[in-house]
Amino acid sequence: MSRLDVTEKIISTKVSKGLSWADVAKKVGQSKEWTTALCLGQMTATPAQAKVLGKIFGLSADEQKWLMVVPYKGSLPTSVPTDPLIYRFYELVSVYGTTFKELIHEEFGDGIMSAIDFKMDMQRQADPNGDRVNIVMSGKFLPYKQY
């Protein structure tokens, strides 16, 4: 058994039970964005969170333990994503990455936006020309230190 096996079981059970990530997140007590990342193998559960997920997805005690193992981050099977939706994020970084970098450095100085001290919110935004995907990402600024 591996973390990938547990992830596949979670996804399969989610589909068969008709669950939403938002409903799962409410039971876990975290945001739908973080909980989804956890269930897809990108975050580490506490014992209490693993137990809740075990009940929701019918996970054994051994499968629940995999949820508490620090995962290997980065779940894409190729360096350039082939899934059209994920590719658009790759495209955003390819096109706007230097703009993000320039504007963050101008506003904050030399450093990075944390992906560890990080929050994300995704909402549907009604628009008469077609609904929009509204994603807000908030990461702590970490300045480079001089030594």
CA–CA distance, 99 with 78 (Å, rounded to integer): 25
Catalytic (active site) residue 114? yes
Q: Report which secondary-structure segment, H or E, holds 3.
A: helix 3-17
Give the active site residue among 12, 91, 102, 132.
91
Quickly count: other Cβ atoms within 10 Å of residue 39's Cβ. Answer: 23
Give me the catalytic one of 20, 60, 94, 114. 114
d(CA 36, CA 24): 8
Active site (annotated) includes residue 138: no
Active site residue 91: yes
Catalytic machinery residues: 88, 91, 114
